[in-house]
Amino acid sequence: MDTIQIQGGRRLQGTVRVQGSKNGVLPLMAAALIIPGKTVLKGCPRITDVSAMADAMTDMGCRISRQGDDLIIDATGVHTSRVPRQCGEKLRSSVLFLGALLARTGLAILPYPGGCTIGARPVDFHLEGMRRLGVFVYPDGEWIRAVGRPGGGSCRLPMASVGATENLLLAASCCAEPVTIQGAAREPEIVGLCEFLSAMGADVRGAGTDTISITGVEAPGPVTFRVPGDRIIAGTYLLAAAATGGRILLQGIPSGMLADQIDIYRQLGLRLWENRQGILAVREGSLRPVQCATAPYPGFPTDLQSQLMAVAACAPGESRITETVFEHRFQVAEELCRMGADIHIEGQTARITGVPRLAGCSVEAKELRGGAALIIAGLAAEGITRITGVNYIRRGYGDIAGDLRRLGADIRDVRE
Ligand code: UD1
């Protein structure tokens, strides 16, 4: 069984380049399906979610290759509107093929995306939004069937859903009449997708606000696009530096993309400076407790909540973390408690009393970000931590063990 093994107790020190964003690249890959030609995604991360997306697109007729860090997608030969069943099981982002296929062919048949341990994660906003654009959408057992070219119109999302906003933008990207999305998500990944669709020829306004208008392009042109840096990975490494008392230089991400996180780093006692070389982060003095509630952007990201919990577990005093986006996102607390953390969950709030030192032991990653949290806990702990469930971590982190080793951690990715 593959494991990540960490001998804890080393301060992180050095420079690390942040990989391209997982949540940024997946909608861009879906967008590439719309273009009957070539898309080059520069700085594409080497993660298993990208491979799963690429496998599905290859099955649908795309030709996909890698040249160094670039992913080249030629979607000229797309010959089906049916998304392979196994893609739905592996990947929630497979639901983005709904909007992309409707834009390309006016027909989409796709499996309901698989269950997920962090919450129910329904797709009702996606389906209702497509209906508002005049598409006929109906469930068929485990499949979603959608027929019709999206037309103009407006839809209001009941919640600022990242995936639903992306799906509607994809669906509208070839529509000659304007489409307005109200209550849209404002995440930097949405802005990235809007820039891609603009490069393809669409007219997009309001990206980064809660109202986005898009007028599509009938003949989308080829696009070369750089995948933005992964702000969640940047946050993971900054939190690791906080937990270990380190001093690290992050490259490949501007601090503007971390605007939602900065206040929490200040609370923890991490100081940040930015210049042309990158973002320098130094923990000054001992860790301090935090008060934090996750929220859609520009709130603190739910995708960093578990990693923050691992740091809070070592911060003297009482921290409180409230999760407002997903209902089952405190699963890692149990594993952290096995390492000696003192965490009490009351509804959607975790009360964490910092302990002087966590103790390394065998723990299991049950989902992606919880896995990253266990790595941070292992770096800060006394003794050896062995983490199983490494496959979850590989979904979003290309080489987290390598990156942290280059920062001075004693960590190994053991493949068996
Ligand atoms: C995306 C991110 C994920 C991140 C999340 C919130 C990707 C690939 N994934 O997920 O890492 O944690 O945003 O920042 O980008 N909801 C509904 N009905 C819907 C859609 C969503 O009820 O049709 C609810 C969800 O259950 C959740 C909330 O809305 O409670 C926000 O979810 P959403 O923003 O859609 O998350 P994802 O796009 O799935």
Ligand 1 contacts CB of residue 192 (under 6 A):
no
Average pLDDT over residues 302-320: 98
Kindly tell me the number of DSSP H helices and DSSP E strands found in the chain.
14, 23
Length of the chain: 416
Residue 118 has pLDDT above 90, yes or no: no
**Residue to probe by mutation, ligand 1, list 87, 126, 159, most atoms within 8 Å of CB:** 159
Q: What is the CA radius of gyration of the chain?
A: 21
Q: Kindly list the strands in the beta sheet with 38-42, ordered across the sheet, starting from the edge strand earlier in the chain.
A: 63-67, 70-74, 38-42, 223-226
Least confident of 120-129, 158-167, 298-307: 120-129
- The average pLDDT across 320-325 equals 97
Residue 279, ligand 1, Cβ within 6 A:
no
What would the mean pLDDT of 376-381 be, rounded to a whole number?
A: 98
Distance between alpha carbon 135 and the CA centroid of its chain, in Å? 28
Ligand 1: which atom is nearest the Cα of residue 162? 34
Residue 287 alpha carbon to ligand 1 centre in Å? 31
Can you list the alpha helix ranges (DSSP code H) found in 93-247? 96-105, 124-132, 162-172, 188-200, 231-244
Reading the block at residue 154, the tokens are: 């407006």
φ and ψ at 410, to 5 degrees? -95, 90
Is 119 near ligand 1, meaning CB less than 6 Å away?
yes
Ligand 1: which residue has its CA nearest to atom 37? 163
* Band (90; pLDDT cuts 50, 70, 90): confident
CA 379–ligand 1 middle distance (angstroms): 30
**Res. 120: pLDDT tops 70:** no
Tell me the fold of 2-19+229-415. UDP-n-acetylglucosamine1-carboxyvinyl-transferase; Chain (3.65.10)
The position carrying tokens 């979610």 is 49
pLDDT digits (tens, 9 = 90+) for 217-266: 999 999 999 999 999 999 999 999 999 998 999 999 999 999 999 999 99
Amino acid identity, position 298? P
Ligand 1: does its nearest atom lie under 6 Å from the Cβ of 123? yes
The C-alpha atoms of residue 216 and residue 207 are separated, in whole angstroms, by 15
Query: Which residues are part of the catalytic machinery?
Result: 116
Is beta strand 70-74 parallel, antiparallel or unpaired with respect to 247-251? unpaired
**Cα–Cα separations (whole angstroms), residue 270 to 32, 82, 385:** 39, 48, 25
Residue closest via CA to ligand 1's atom 5 equals 162
Please tell me the distance between residue 54's alpha carbon and the centre of ligand 1 in angstroms: 21
| Span 36-59, pLDDT tens digits | 999 999 999 999 999 999 999 999
Distance CA 351, CA 22 (A): 30
Domain coordinates of the chain in residue numbers?
2-19+229-415, 22-226
Split at pLDDT 50, 70, 90, the class of 121 is: confident
255 Cα–ligand 1 center, Å? 24
Instruction: Examine the pLDDT at 119 and tell me if it is beyond 70.
Output: no
pLDDT score of 309:
98
Judged by DSSP in three states, 315 sits in coil
d(CA 404, CA 42): 24
Atom of ligand 1 nearest to the CA of 127: 23
Q: What is the mean pLDDT of residues 369-383?
A: 98
Range 117-126 average pLDDT? 80
Predicted confidence band of residue 327 (pLDDT cuts 50, 70, 90)? confident
User: Cα separation of 300 and 321, whole Å?
Assistant: 11
Q: Do domains 2-19+229-415 and 22-226 have the same CATH topology?
A: yes
144 lines ligand 1 (CB under 6 A): no
The burial class, CB within 10 Å (0-12 / 13-18 / 19+), for 295 is middle
Q: Which CATH architecture fits 22-226?
A: Alpha-beta prism (3.65)
Confidence of residue 123 (pLDDT cuts 50, 70, 90): very high
- Which DSSP state fits 42? E
Please state the pTM of the whole predicted model: 0.97
| Cβ of 300 below 6 Å from ligand 1 | no
Whole-number pLDDT of residue 268: 97
pLDDT of the residue at 12: 97
CA–CA separation, 191 and 204 (whole Å): 10
Ligand 1 and 163: CB distance under 6 A: yes
- Residue 121 CA to ligand 1 center (angstroms) comes to 7
Cα distances from 226 to residues 71, 288, 359, in angstroms, run 10, 37, 41
